[in-house]
Structure 1
Amino acid sequence: MKNVSLDDLDHVDRAVLPLGTDYPPGQVLDWHEHRRAQFLYGATGVMVVDTPQGTWTVPPERAVLIPATTRHRVRMLEVSTRSLYIEPDAVPWWPGTCTVVDVPPLLRELLLTAVEFQADYGLAGREGCVVALLLHEIAALTPLPFHVAIPAAPDLAAICRAYLADPDAGVTNAEWAARTAMSERAFTRRFRAETGESPAVWRTRARLLAAVPLLRTSSVTEVSGRLGYASPAALTAAFTRAFGMPPSRFTTSGAIRREQS
């Protein structure tokens, strides 16, 4: 089922509804929520998923698990998705917050197969087995750290979202503290209480997440300069330390090499 609205199918008596959708570049799915849990896989492009609690950046060929009734917004950057909309009772093990995961080859092929099914696909036989295996494969996935928390306090949340939109390597804790009319020490203590991280650590991760969509169209050298790193090697070291893989994995040339291997 491709480019079909979930609203047209949500009534169908199936615990899992596979849907494929192609989005124009830069499309934003504004704040919304689903009754079902969602497994959102980007077969191409990069997705940025916002909730009131955080921001999750989904690199190409990865997915995000979105809990049922979670209010969220998605920015699509040249994305073709394969989604599973799942009745919550069918996945009691589903995470309580959004979670980015890798998508191994078997799971990817199962998703590509499932979106060709009719909405009322047969529960017995091949189609039912494919859907059952999909859930088994998803349950075995390991989370990836492509996210930052967003504070609940509106003033801190506004500062964080503004930084995510335009990361600036020169910003200091003192500048952020001044914007909230607090001392630097009090601000840092409050920020850590809300996010679990110091402002400096949070900004470092936010800048690295900002690299992911930029790497779709720019080289590691270009991205390192744009984000204020001293050299491509500095960006590569920080990115690899945070995410366990080099930024070159997400460039166009890196994608070509993976396809050829």
Structure 2
Amino acid sequence: MRNVLAGQADQLPGRIVATSNEYPTGHRIARHSHRRSQLLYGAHGIMVVGTQAGRWMVPPERAAWIPAGMAHDVHVLAQISTRSIYVEPEVSAALPGDCRVIGVSALMRELLLETLDLPLQADAAGGSRPDLIYSLIVREIERAPVLPLDIPFPSEPRLAARCRAYLAQPSPHDGIDDWCRDLAMSRRTFTRRFRAQTGSSFAQWCRQAAIFAALPRLAAGEPITALALDLGYESASAFTTMFKRLIGMPPSRYLATARAYAPER
């Protein structure tokens, strides 16, 4: 079904439901949750999915998996065409139990595009063509690779709030000693807690946060070199290397994607 608002998805009948939407650059979907798990695929464009635990970047032709009941929001960084598959948890015990970004195989991509004109709902246990397509999508989700496109937030509220503030405005001059002072922690305690709660070192987390913060600024037309230096990278090439490692494409391709789907002015 086309153009179903996020808040209306739970009202649709069926164990598996497919919907599609188009969202403009800058669009935000407020925090909400679904009774079914959701696969949120972007055929083109770029979006960020946020939860209490962190944020996940979803580049073109990738998908976010959001478990049933998990509160989340969505921020569209470059105009996006989405396909959503909503799956009741009892359909498969092998489906992921955590939020993640997954790789989308060529088969899954074609199956997702095929859902655009299929009936609204399917059973996944039936033998009709729509049922078989949805069943195959579920199997592809189960085996999809997890992509390292997340920024985890610590569980400790004060530390999480400091991370959110940094993500909103990264600064190369905001170092570990500043964080320790603001949080009244020793460097040793801070380092231990930060790694335990995020699974990442402070320096690595900050580099990833800078890349996340750079995406809307790149889409707005800021020069790559000036942006890289502003975020604390030694050069545009160092920024490009980290960007490609995390996002899966160089900044130039990201810019081309953002411009291709930018709204008319």
Query: How would you bin the TM-score normalised by the shorter chain?
Result: 0.7 to 0.9
Q: Cα offset for 1:226?
A: 4.3
CA-CA distance at 1:12 after TM superposition: 5.0
Distance in 2 between residues matched to 1:88 and 1:163, nearest whole Å: 35
Higher relative contact order (CA 8 A, sep 6+): 2
Which shows bigger deviation, 137-146 or 220-229? 220-229
SS in 1 for 2:117: coil
Q: CA deviation at 1:191?
A: 1.8
Q: Contact between 1:249 and 1:255, CA under 8 Å: does it hold in 2?
A: no
Structure 1 residue aligned with 2:169 = 166
Q: Could you tell me the TM-score, scaled by structure 2's length? A: 0.85
Deviation at 1:120, TM superposition (A): 4.1
**Aligned-partner Cα distance in 1 for 2:33–2:210:** 28
For 1:72-124, what per-residue CA distance to the aligned partner results, in whole angstroms no more than 9, with x for missing partners?
A: 12112222211000011113112221111222333222112102223245843
Amino acid at match of 1:191: F
Counterpart in the other structure of 1:95:
96
Q: What is residue 193 of structure 1 aligned with on the other side?
A: 196
One-letter amino acid matched to 1:201: Q
- The reply to whether residue 183 of structure 1 matches residue 186 of structure 2 is yes
Correspondence for 1:108? 109
Root-mean-square deviation (CA, aligned residues, Å) is: 2.6
Alignment of 1:1-261 (within 5 A): 1-5=1-5, 8=8, 10=10, 13-77=13-77, 78-120=79-121, 123-218=126-221, 220-221=224-225, 223-242=227-246, 246-252=250-256
Do the aligned residues in 1 keep the contact of 2:48 with 2:56 (CA within 8 Å)? yes
Which range is displaced more, 40-49 or 22-31?
22-31
State TM-score, norm by structure 1.
Answer: 0.86
Q: How many residues align?
A: 256
8 A contact 1:217–1:251 mirrored in 2: no
1:108-143: CA deviation from partner (whole Å, max 9, x where unpaired): 221121022232458433222211221222222111
How far, CA to CA, are the matches of 1:191 and 1:238 in structure 2? Answer: 21
* Structure 1: stretches of 5+ with no match in the other structure: 257-261
Structure 1 runs of 4+ aligned residues shifted over 3 Å read 5-13, 120-124, 211-223, 239-249, 253-256
% of aligned pairs identical? 42
| In 2: Cα distance, 1:224 partner to 1:254 partner | 18
For structure 2, which runs of at least 5 residues remain unmatched after alignment? 261-265
